[in-house]
Structure 1
Amino acid sequence: MKVLKKSLLFFMLAIVSCQLKQAQINTTEIHVKAPFDMPSIKIPDFSNCKQFLITDFGAIEGDKELTSTAISKAIDEANKNGCGTVVIPEGEWLTKKIHLRSNVNLHLNENAVLLFSENPKDYLPAVFTTWEGMECYNYSPLVYAYDCENVAITGNGTLKAKLDVWKIWYKRPRAHMNSLKRLYNLASYNKPVEERQMVNDSANFRPQFIQFNRSKNILLEGVSIENSPFWTIHPYLSTNVVIRDVKVKAHGHNNDGVDPEMSQNVLIENCIFDQGDDAIAIKSGRNQDAWRLNTPSKNIIMRNCIMKNGHQLAAIGSELSGGIENVYVENCNVVDGAKMFHLVFIKTNERRGGYVKNIFVENIDAGSIEMGVLGIETDVLYQWRNLVPTIEKKLTPIENIHLTNVRAKSSQYLSKILGSEELPIKDIYLNNVTVDSLSKEKHIHENVLNFEEK
């Protein structure tokens, strides 16, 4: 009898072990060549994971409540299974916020549309997130992953935000600016994030569309994204991020395409950006918050992308207090007729600190650029100049910037580099950087050391 019980126990353990093995997620590594030591990037592979169709959990087209509940239940089941793909079928599915969990792929079939509600209450309760480089509690991003591992959004469908309310919130009335001042002071004096509750009747802090917060092994592939309340794709304090074959069209206020912030090992490739703000804006937090978190944005590659519109092809800052290094932008095209200020714009101010180094941009072709190919400015404060004071002064060292084989049809100038007298910008290298037609002087420089042009 004892032998029989022991054999039965071993048999049951073997079944459980087999089930666990079937549900275990695989990962793959991507190796990318760069002008710096670029680590391999690990991303999840859901090809052997079970699928969970949202209609099996009660989703009905046009019914926001049932669809939201169904998506949440499907995500929970996929997570409990060890790994899983939550499938959004063809059709238009009105939904509230979506919170991803580890080992889950949100997959949109062709002709599937996830249509996100315009009601701010559908993004409550408030979650641990950020606003322009400062941590706070605010409306949930429309798609939010917090402290997740192995997450993905894939497929040929579309994620779309209804803008009825958000477009009203694009304006910045006095009540909104007062809330900004309040958050700035809370962050500047290192008040606990739990005290920074920014949801009220007048703050109107718009949420990001997609935020991966403190997560790793992330894949965003194939989908289209239309409209956005705020920044569109926001990897924050995240590692191993691949954004591939994604189309973004968002022309509202602050509608950057991708904002890697204090994130590392990021690949953005084969994407199309049509933005109302920067196509890619690399950031690393604001002032005291970033000094506390002490995490640079590092090892970021953007390649083979097309820009239809955007303030800059690649912006760095102005939230860069954690430091930014090892950025490689290659083989990108800005279509003729696009509205774009610069191809590369590095911006900071006396409050930021941090650093910028090892920026490489090569093989870029552009039409007419409104201002210049390269802009570097160290006194960019926008509305903050008179809104709040400088509480602690820290300058930003900027060095080792390389542009190679870059061409534009026309612009005002080729480069405008305005360093500070206390801390000049240094080591800027331009190799075969040309503009067919300039309307002003070629280079406008202040406080620059070791500028070389070939």
Structure 2
Amino acid sequence: MDRLTEPMTEPMTEAAAWRYADELRERVRPPEFPDRWFDVTEYGGGDGLWTEAFRAAIAACHKAGGGHVRVPPGTYDTGAIHLLSNVDLHVEEGAVIRFSTDPADYLPAVYTRFSAIECYNYSPFIYAYEQENIAITGGGTLDGSAGPEHWWPWVGTPEFGWRPGTPHEAADWEALQRMAADGVPVAERVFGAGHYLRPNMIQPYLCRNVLVEGVRIVRSPMWEIHPVRCENVLVRNVSIYSRGPNNDGCDPESCRDVVISGCVFDVGDDCIAIKAGRGPDGRRVGVPCENVLIEDCDMRYRYGSVAIGTDTTGGIRNVFVRRCRWGGPGLYFGLYVKTNSVRGGFVENVFVKDVTISELTKEAVSIDLYHGDGHNGDDPPPIRNVHVSGLRSDRTRSAYLLRGYPEQPLRDIAIRDSTFAHVLRSDVVSDVEGLSVTGVRIGGG
């Protein structure tokens, strides 16, 4: 992808935005595969791990010119699965791919990102690097086997099973951030064996034409679906149930042309989080995330329904959200734009319409430049041209919280034709230029 990190000179109008969203919906098409089938059970497996069987079946499918690797009903214990071009991993209904809890089964370390910083680390459970036309489809289950006994304790909190004297990722995370700040080459940022940075569940990296469809995902170590620097990504009709630490549902990062449709998110962090690299590393790489359409999704738990950030350093633009359902007693925010002057970057052209909200413990719309590190950096991010309409909310803490900086206010924020019933506190607005609130009804708690 090209580097394109400067904000646009002309903001997108609402009419133009939704035309563009429709065009995006049409051009992000699923990859097509030849009608060739390779049954994983014909390549080994049996009583032990199926890692080699998956490798062999995928290699055979790829060598033949592409097709489908069938995973029939049953349970398949495995280590890392690496996809190759023109291969669809088809997990049939009744099939469970159950990933090993042994970190050694995700070695050797691969080129990846951990929390938006480049490094070499344990392989994501399903990984692809510089491949085209790849898919994970079917009605089966991907089980990450994570929980209080495996993977989750590494985050270092008792809530997720950590106990004094057991492994903790804090030292490795601090080391990785320091390497990025010091400009250490990525090839020298090697973690994996003997370290405790958790792998993602699914990560295509520098891939084109990616489809994730129909599968059920449970118990991931951390981020579930994390395409990085990919183009033409379609995630549809996926259901994710994983309430672990940092268990974001879908995190397109520094990608272009992404559609997320018809999915269910019941996760331990943001349901969808759009990202573009973090801090010095994000500035070095300098690739934005742009052209993301989210439609007909159900967000149930836990932090942001649709989050933008906190990793905004490469810039984020052209995000469209429509016909979604947000809400549940454990879900915090609706639209959640979160960054600060340490992260930098920009966010522009965000459009949300026709969303039903049952219950949020915080705001329906939150755009906050004081998230996390607050205002302690020298790269205040411009946030502009955010339009929200057609929200119907039953219960929130407040309708909106909008906080810019005195020297870098939020610009051109519009909220219209929406109803917010049972609001518990007043809205918060500071350092905003060009705020328009029209046709909005707000009811007390």
Q: Under a length normalisation based on structure 1, what TM-score does the superposition of the two structures give?
A: 0.87
Partner residue, 2:161: none
Q: How does 1:12-411 map to 2 (within 5 A)?
A: 34-36=18-20, 38-39=23-24, 40-46=27-33, 48-60=34-46, 62-64=47-49, 67-163=50-146, 164-171=149-156, 176-201=169-194, 203-335=195-327, 337-381=328-372, 393-411=378-396
Q: Which runs of 5 or more residues in structure 1 are unaligned?
A: 1-32
Give the SS at the match of 2:269: coil
Whole-Å separation in 2 of the counterparts to 1:340 and 1:42: 31
| Structure ranking higher on relative contact order (CA contacts 8 Å, 6+ apart) | 2
CA distance in 1, matches of 2:437, 2:62: 54
Hey, what's the Cα distance between the residues in 2 that align with 1:58 and 1:82? 22
Contact 2:41 2:53 in 1 (8 A): yes
* Offset, 1:51: 0.5
| SS of alignment partner, residue 253 of structure 1 | coil
Deviations 1:190-213 (A, max 9, x none): 221011112353x41100000010
C-alpha distance in structure 2 between counterparts of 1:434 and 1:323, whole Å: 31
Q: Considering only CA atoms, is the larger Rg found in Structure 1 or Structure 2?
A: 1
The number of residue pairs the alignment matches comes to 410
Q: Deviations over 1:167-192 (max 9, x none)?
A: 22232689632222221121122221
Question: Aligned AA for 1:165?
Answer: H
Q: CA deviation at 1:425?
A: 0.5
| Counterpart among 405, 408, 429 of residue 445 in structure 1 | 429
Residue in 1 that maps onto 2:8 = none
Distance 1:338 1:330 in 2: 22
TM-score by length of 2: 0.89
TM-superposed deviation, 1:126: 0.7
Q: Which amino acid aligns with 1:329?
A: V
- Structure 2 unmatched runs, 5+: 1-16, 158-163, 439-445
User: Identity over the aligned pairs, expressed in percent?
Assistant: 36
Q: Say which SS state the counterpart of residue 76 (structure 2) adopts.
A: strand
TM-align CA RMSD: 1.9
Where 2:428 maps in the other structure, the secondary structure is: strand
> SS in structure 2 opposite 1:191?
coil
- 1:390-430 alpha-carbon deviations (Å, 9 max, x no partner): 7x621100000011101211112111111111201110000
* Secondary structure at the counterpart of residue 421 of structure 2: strand
Q: State how far apart, in whole Å, the 1-side matches of 2:435 and 2:333 are.
A: 19
